[in-house]
Structure 1
């Protein structure tokens, strides 16, 4: 790969890290996507970024699509490329931004997976065997009860939960605080966990959920414990924190039909984000319809509707 391609790219990553204060993870993502583009350009005979045209980048997008990348992934690649060319223009290493007018191909809407109500009840009705499992069950009950994000659950402190009023105060995205109801089962689970927490927590530790070392439980530990709980209880799909949140949203919407209320509970700034769950609800209704309506059921062997086969 020509140094004329890799040199400016390395400078851009340093710019993101030092001047823009982006996280190492964000910088790695930019570097990975742009190195892929630089490799493609090098194999195509390009020796400098300023020689790349809008037509060249459209060819690259077509290549990514043929290689199986989703529209969302291609959009991320294009966003990185546009940002990189803004840097090149500032450094006078390019005369225009060839990625400006290029849009990624649309992907079909990917709906979040949810767990069946009966399966969740079975998983959450399991009896814990030790103090750490008491803690785990408490976390999972609370996530499903109040639709918490992983980061919101991990950041909970003792004083953010009011058992008397049945409420939890969480800090969501954009540092927006919201007050959420806590269900009866989750309150019971918290009450069962608090004596064990008092014995485990280090002096001065404010976290509601702590590890064996008495410190606030990490995101990774919560993810691992939920996955382990699902395996030990015979779940038919891998359990992860967002599955509980998705299930909360879908089950609430299915029962209430109140999209605005679910939006408030989830802490979504835009109701369009919440509307994805209406598609999940419709899928459920469509399955019930197909299975139940006398003029929708199909003969198993002949593909005929029930009235046709009689």
Structure 2
């Protein structure tokens, strides 16, 4: 039995899915074809040849970085097995890292667009008006405190602490890794939540503790429901931009950082364990500054003058 088939037999015994086994085989088979053209075997493949193969998959074959990353993972697994079985002396994938695509900058909406969403008139029908009271409270809180949509839907009434003068309101949030953080709640969010709570008390069923509940079911709202309600609210406000709950978190982070310049504070408010995750918003803010500069500065955009043309022709 050929080594690759032995390897796949071992993987099959670990109950990997057929799809995974096919993907692993295809990755190793593609490398095999490349090495055959080079008149090489698996055991003669070094890091340089592996790099050439990866470059071919990215550039000539035009595969996405994520797809090539999966292939490299399969090849790494195969070579690890070869070395363990004494079928190869070295593993060319050791220390080999595929450069990832740059992380895309998050989409940000400006303050005016958020005002258009949050300050829109009350709907005409009583049913939609009641739902908007709840929805506005949700969206105000998402933007006010930079919550993830899953954090929002997981909130219980007892997680909210409102002060008498509304200046010290805060919410206890359970984020990723079951980590808890305390986040301030802005005045407009507090006002919206206070307007919603009497409706919530009327809708509540089964003594549900959730802060945001369904009017029909009287139980905790799902993240999907929040996403749908935001799209409805955006359409009613005449907003063409695609709005989704995480966009409000992005806006919170970008607007807070732009206004304060305090990266550490924004990191704490967002619940990021690594400040490098928060630093992406510094790039967003710089991109906005660049756009302003290009539009405003008289010498930001190069223009061709008569003198320039004369110099060029000379």
TM-score over 0.5 for the pair: yes
User: Which protein is bigger by CA-based radius of gyration?
Assistant: 2
Post-superposition shift, 1:243?
A: 0.9
Post-superposition shift, 1:156?
A: 0.5
Contact kept in structure 1, 2:7 and 2:78, CA below 8 Å:
no
Contact kept in structure 2, 1:61 and 1:104, CA below 8 Å:
no
Contact kept in structure 1, 2:8 and 2:21, CA below 8 Å:
no
Structure 1 match to 2:131: 132
Which deviates the most, 172-181 or 114-123? 172-181
Structure 1 match to 2:160: 161
Partners of 2:103 and 2:14 in 1: CA distance: 33
TM-score in terms of structure 1 length: 0.76
Relative to structure 1, the CA distance from residue 101 to residue 173 in structure 2 (aligned partners, 3 Å threshold; closer, same or farther) is same
Structure 2 match to 1:152: 151
Structure 2 match to 1:116: 110
Where do residues 236-255 of structure 1 align in structure 2 (5 Å cutoff)? Answer: 236-255=240-259
Structure 2 match to 1:288: 292
Structure 1 match to 2:201: 198
Select the residue among 216, 223, 235 that pairs with 2:220. 216
Structure 2 match to 1:18: none
Post-superposition shift, 1:191?
A: 1.2
Structure 1 residue runs of 5 or longer lacking an equivalent are 15-27
Post-superposition shift, 1:89?
A: 7.0
Instruction: List per-residue Cα deviations over 1:89-108 (Å, max 9, x = no partner).
Output: 79859756553332113423
Post-superposition shift, 1:63?
A: 1.2
C-alpha root-mean-square deviation of aligned residues, in Å?
Answer: 3.5
Relative to structure 1, the CA distance from residue 76 to residue 258 in structure 2 (aligned partners, 3 Å threshold; closer, same or farther) is farther
Contact kept in structure 2, 1:143 and 1:149, CA below 8 Å:
yes
Partners of 2:175 and 2:155 in 1: CA distance: 11
Relative to structure 1, the CA distance from residue 151 to residue 62 in structure 2 (aligned partners, 3 Å threshold; closer, same or farther) is farther
Structure 2 match to 1:24: none
Partners of 2:277 and 2:82 in 1: CA distance: 35
Contact kept in structure 1, 2:12 and 2:21, CA below 8 Å:
no
How many residue pairs were aligned?
284
Instruction: List per-residue Cα deviations over 1:254-301 (Å, max 9, x = no partner).
Output: 111111211111111222221111111111222222222333356xxx
Structure 2 match to 1:38: 25
Relative to structure 1, the CA distance from residue 250 to residue 128 in structure 2 (aligned partners, 3 Å threshold; closer, same or farther) is same
